[in-house]
Structure 1
Amino acid sequence: MSVSPLEQAPAQPDLYRAMALALRVGELLLGGGESTETVAGTMRRITNAYGVPHCEADVNLSAITLSYVPTDGSVPVTAERRVRRRLPDYDRLIAVHDMVRETSAGALPLDVAEIRLREITRRVRVYPNWFLVTGLALVGASASILVGGGVPVAVTAFAATVLGDRASAWLAGRGVAEFFQLAMAAMLGSLVAVLLISFGASLRAEAVVVGAVVALLPGRLMVACVQDGIAGEYVTATARLFEVFFILTAIISGIGITLYAAVRLGVPLSVENVPAAPLVLRPAQLLGAVGVTLAFAIALLVPPRHLIAASIGGGLAWVVFVQLYIWQVPIILGTAVAAGVVGLFGSAYARATRVPSMVLTIPAIGSLLPGTALYRGMLELNLGHADAGLASLLQALSTALALGAGVILGTEILRAVTGSDLTRRVRRPGARRPFIIRPAARRTRGY
């Protein structure tokens, strides 16, 4: 059987180099928080650009596999790369997407692409390390303002978040598992509030806990988990869900240990004093929502040129959420709708600026994360109100899933109206209209 020149396998060294480049790009994207669908599609775009068509990419949470079976009878090739570092760096993520776009357009020879990728991996962070620590602490400070705390509470939440972050960094430097790092950070954040209450400080100490907890919540993972599930990547979605579960368990454990000890020692804790964000359109709360978004964006290394847009998205999410509450829409549904608005806005901005939508959507949902519900649930459990505590924790989990689903819904609405870069339209011979070959769009009717 004759083989078309387009189907002939490339030279062996170029084949290996193209697959290695695709694997490295896939590792960077997955480590940066991209969905499985995006990672697999991007890897195939790279191999197609360098003459290695029909590759199959298998992506899960800790490993990426790329396989190529030549049609000319040559030996098949399979390569794998482990994903050991999963730290968000959205500045580097944008640079990788720019490189892939040029590669797909045929503007980058393989040699140049390899050099470009090495430069991206070695580039200096857009913010220094001390600025990142400050950004994470500002998440706690802004969240405490959002739930009604004043300037003293914000300063205390800032210090508590820094204390928890530095303790986590110390444990990480000694090889302690991340589960215990997060538990320690949550424990110290709640400990600061308990000490303030025990000393009779005249400020809303509980708001300090909420601020410290919000800085730890895995909003990025929750969105990616739901996105993978909707795209049909159920194995990776399940793995991400378990990761979210363990992170939340670590946070709950840290808070629970502190509150249990406080209750046993007679510290006057009360469920009635648990802070909740005043669901009215006040300047203080809007400032807190924008502050949470801006601080999250800095902690995720969003480049400065996108910070204003991210802040607008965070403010928009809060305004929509509060307005829906005023219209008596249930909290969880209102959260999903507000997140959907963020997804729609973020996707539109991403198309206009040619950056991944998560650069805007992930920071913008920060003000909607269920920090208060988590703290209330653990306090109720330790005070002996098991049913109410479990209900609060279930509300927190439902809110988290609603956030992920809402963000993806906004993205899918824009995709339905305008199409997507991930959606390739081709025409079958004799077909009247193009059909979509995006795997997640294939109709199975549930069978």
Structure 2
Amino acid sequence: MSDPTTSIGVFDNAAYTRSVLDLTMRLAEVIFAAGAGAEDATAAMEAITRAYGLKGTEANITHTIITLTHEDPGTHESITRSRNVKYRSLNYGKLTATSELIVDLLETPMDVADARKALATIVSAKPQVPALYRRLGWSLVGAGAAVLIGGGPIVLAAAFVATFFIDMITTALDRRQAPLFYQNVVGGAIGPIVAAIVALIDPTANPSLVVIATIIMLLAGVTTFGAVHDTLSGFYLTGTARLMEALLITGGLVTGVAGASLLLARFGLQLRVDATLTPTLADLPALLTASVVIVIGFGLAVQVPWRAFWVVCVLGAVAEFLYLAAASSGFGLVWSSGASAIGVGLAAAVAARIVRTPPLVIIVTSLVPLVPGLILFRGLLQLSDGDINGLLSLLTAGAVAVALAAGAILSQYVVQFVWGPARRLQRRFVGPLMALPVRLSRSPGKRI
């Protein structure tokens, strides 16, 4: 006959383990859905379970499935929990708040029930800004992009209006659970339609710039950064899935733009891009101002914490300046983009500690002005004219996007390898942590 006290003890231990695993997975789900990479979510799960006394826990993420397994060292029985991340969208306010909660739990683990309540408060909290202001943020991205590529007042106003309606319509389609591809087809088609209206209002304007501005706005939220981060970190399945998602979004965008452009061509509107439209250092004040406007708009749209706004604005201008300096020196589009991303990434490592915000938030927001919308649209028009060079332009656009992500990740890897965190973390994980608080020192501590 078994001892009832022992049975109760085993039951309590199993219940405690399940509660810790559930809390851990919910925390990981929030940061992963809000924009963190698979490596950050995995590292967070293993660190939290260790903080709560569960050793030997194995965590894994495969794009939409989060799995956490703990094996009891005494009985060798395993408890496995899994969650399905059904919806992902960039929400840097929620990501930052959850990251701060993870810091508190690692420093001083609180009661599991209290931690659950704290997480529920974060999840259910009102957005940092109302939906209208977030939509106006996307409009600022479009307006700033129009100025960045040489548009005048009419083009600027048209880009502002076009991106406003793009976000309104795609949001409505998303609420009706329309596939992501078709959302971007519709969003991509709006740009050429507004461009046609601009051509009627002002025949001297370049309506193609409106289309390019909307492309930059739509590409700003693409998961290229996360795809590159996951792939370089060894999460090949998740990285490949995110890359396919990025290609799906881009494919829908290209389809919408191409379809609307071909339709308008039958009515006499031929969209063209001036081949000499290349930014130079002579236009530096206007370009830096446009970059800051884009960063402010994107920050509103994805709810960057207010305390970090001044940092992302400064680094957004720095990113554009470094890009122009490198491009003017003959480094080419891809290498200039990579060099700018490295510089911004190094600065973000310091700025993240000043404003207590994950480096991921600062880096991605600061690099939005460098999204290769102009190259993508030029390649699209070349292909529509039967020019094989269009394929090269599309590949160049993809290379620029990868260079931005890879450069920023490389800078964070260098910082964390030289300055911290602990070397044991570098042995367990391939890439740097971007969405979690790391200990930038070699001294002992409880942070990741």
Rounded Cα–Cα distance in structure 2 between residues aligned with 1:198 and 1:274: 24
Cα distance, 1:354 vs structure 2: 3.3
Ranked by relative contact order (alpha carbons within 8 Å, sequence separation 6 or more), the top structure is 2
Question: Given that residues 278 and 285 in structure 1 are in contact (C-alpha distance below 8 angstroms), is that contact kept between their aligned partners in structure 2?
Answer: no
Aligned to 2:430: 440
Rounded Cα–Cα distance in structure 1 between residues aligned with 2:279 and 2:43: 41
Cα distance, 1:262 vs structure 2: 2.3
Aligned to 1:158: 160
Aligned to 1:287: 289
The one-letter code matched in structure 2 to 1:37 is: E
What do residues 217-241 of structure 1 show as CA deviations (whole Å, max 9, x unaligned)?
A: 0556111111112211111111111
Query: After superposition, where does 1:28-47 map in structure 2 within 5 Å?
Result: 28-47=30-49
Question: Given that residues 57 and 70 in structure 2 are in contact (C-alpha distance below 8 angstroms), is that contact kept between their aligned partners in structure 1?
Answer: yes
The one-letter code matched in structure 2 to 1:114 is: R
Aligned to 1:71: 73
The counterpart of 1:15, out of the listed 17, 20, 25, is: 17
Rounded Cα–Cα distance in structure 1 between residues aligned with 2:176 and 2:97: 32
Aligned to 2:135: 133
Rounded Cα–Cα distance in structure 2 between residues aligned with 1:220 and 1:364: 15
The counterpart of 2:117, out of the listed 115, 119, 122, is: 115
Cα distance, 1:331 vs structure 2: 1.4
Rounded Cα–Cα distance in structure 2 between residues aligned with 1:400 and 1:322: 16
The counterpart of 2:64, out of the listed 41, 62, 65, is: 62
Rounded Cα–Cα distance in structure 2 between residues aligned with 1:389 and 1:365: 25
Question: Given that residues 219 and 365 in structure 1 are in contact (C-alpha distance below 8 angstroms), is that contact kept between their aligned partners in structure 2?
Answer: no
Cα distance, 1:121 vs structure 2: 0.7
RMSD after superposition? 2.0
Rounded Cα–Cα distance in structure 2 between residues aligned with 1:200 and 1:241: 39
The one-letter code matched in structure 2 to 1:355 is: T
Does 1:398 pair with 2:399? Answer: yes
Does 1:230 pair with 2:220? Answer: no
Rounded Cα–Cα distance in structure 2 between residues aligned with 1:34 and 1:9: 35
What do residues 288-329 of structure 1 show as CA deviations (whole Å, max 9, x unaligned)?
A: 111111111111100111111000110000001111112111
**Secondary structure of residue in 2 paired with 1:11:** helix
Aligned to 1:213: 215
Cα distance, 1:111 vs structure 2: 2.1
Question: Given that residues 9 and 74 in structure 1 are in contact (C-alpha distance below 8 angstroms), is that contact kept between their aligned partners in structure 2?
Answer: no
Rounded Cα–Cα distance in structure 2 between residues aligned with 1:406 and 1:219: 18
Aligned to 1:3: none
Rounded Cα–Cα distance in structure 2 between residues aligned with 1:304 and 1:110: 29
| TM-score normalised over the length of structure 2 | 0.90
What do residues 400-444 of structure 1 show as CA deviations (whole Å, max 9, x unaligned)?
A: 111111111111121132012xxx346xxxxxxxx94333179xx
Cα distance, 1:273 vs structure 2: 6.7
Rounded Cα–Cα distance in structure 2 between residues aligned with 1:308 and 1:378: 36
Aligned to 2:367: 365
Question: Given that residues 207 and 274 in structure 1 are in contact (C-alpha distance below 8 angstroms), is that contact kept between their aligned partners in structure 2?
Answer: no
Rounded Cα–Cα distance in structure 2 between residues aligned with 1:270 and 1:231: 40
The counterpart of 1:381, out of the listed 380, 383, 398, is: 383
Aligned to 2:258: 256
Aligned to 1:415: 416
Give the unaligned 5+ runs of structure 2.
Answer: 1-9, 433-448
Question: Given that residues 40 and 58 in structure 1 are in contact (C-alpha distance below 8 angstroms), is that contact kept between their aligned partners in structure 2?
Answer: yes
Cα distance, 1:352 vs structure 2: 3.4
Question: Given that residues 308 and 355 in structure 2 are in contact (C-alpha distance below 8 angstroms), is that contact kept between their aligned partners in structure 1?
Answer: no
Aligned to 2:6: none
What do residues 268-296 of structure 1 show as CA deviations (whole Å, max 9, x unaligned)?
A: 33343785544545211111111111111
Aligned to 1:339: 341
The one-letter code matched in structure 2 to 1:356 is: P
Aligned to 2:99: 97
Rounded Cα–Cα distance in structure 1 between residues aligned with 2:261 and 2:417: 48
Which deviates more from structure 2 when the two are superposed, residues 411-420 or residues 37-46? Answer: 411-420
The one-letter code matched in structure 2 to 1:32 is: A
**Secondary structure of residue in 1 paired with 2:186:** helix
Query: After superposition, where does 1:281-360 map in structure 2 within 5 Å?
Result: 281-360=283-362
Question: Given that residues 25 and 45 in structure 2 are in contact (C-alpha distance below 8 angstroms), is that contact kept between their aligned partners in structure 1?
Answer: yes
Rounded Cα–Cα distance in structure 1 between residues aligned with 2:253 and 2:396: 16
Rounded Cα–Cα distance in structure 1 between residues aligned with 2:160 and 2:199: 17
Question: Given that residues 319 and 343 in structure 2 are in contact (C-alpha distance below 8 angstroms), is that contact kept between their aligned partners in structure 1?
Answer: yes
Rounded Cα–Cα distance in structure 1 between residues aligned with 2:348 and 2:42: 22
The one-letter code matched in structure 2 to 1:397 is: G
Cα distance, 1:92 vs structure 2: 1.2
What do residues 240-287 of structure 1 show as CA deviations (whole Å, max 9, x unaligned)?
A: 111111111011111110112223333233343785544545211111
Aligned to 1:429: none
Question: Given that residues 63 and 82 in structure 1 are in contact (C-alpha distance below 8 angstroms), is that contact kept between their aligned partners in structure 2?
Answer: yes
**Secondary structure of residue in 2 paired with 1:64:** strand
Give the unaligned 5+ runs of structure 1.
Answer: 1-7, 427-434, 443-447
Question: Given that residues 339 and 403 in structure 1 are in contact (C-alpha distance below 8 angstroms), is that contact kept between their aligned partners in structure 2?
Answer: yes
**Secondary structure of residue in 1 paired with 2:223:** helix
Which deviates more from structure 2 when the two are superposed, residues 287-296 or residues 137-146? Answer: 287-296
Aligned to 1:4: none
Rounded Cα–Cα distance in structure 1 between residues aligned with 2:314 and 2:85: 33
What do residues 326-350 of structure 1 show as CA deviations (whole Å, max 9, x unaligned)?
A: 2111211010000111111112211
Rounded Cα–Cα distance in structure 1 between residues aligned with 2:177 and 2:109: 43
Question: Given that residues 32 and 87 in structure 1 are in contact (C-alpha distance below 8 angstroms), is that contact kept between their aligned partners in structure 2?
Answer: yes
Structure 1 residues 324, 395: closer, same or farther in 2, change over 3 A?
A: same
Question: Given that residues 158 and 198 in structure 2 are in contact (C-alpha distance below 8 angstroms), is that contact kept between their aligned partners in structure 1?
Answer: no
Question: Given that residues 197 and 268 in structure 1 are in contact (C-alpha distance below 8 angstroms), is that contact kept between their aligned partners in structure 2?
Answer: no
**Secondary structure of residue in 1 paired with 2:430:** helix
Rounded Cα–Cα distance in structure 2 between residues aligned with 1:41 and 1:9: 28
Aligned to 1:432: none
Rounded Cα–Cα distance in structure 2 between residues aligned with 1:20 and 1:72: 21
Aligned to 2:187: 185
Question: Given that residues 219 and 400 in structure 1 are in contact (C-alpha distance below 8 angstroms), is that contact kept between their aligned partners in structure 2?
Answer: no
| TM-score normalised over the length of structure 1 | 0.90
Report how many aligned residue pairs link the two structures. 423
Structure 1 residues 194, 275: closer, same or farther in 2, change over 3 A?
A: farther
Rounded Cα–Cα distance in structure 1 between residues aligned with 2:317 and 2:373: 18
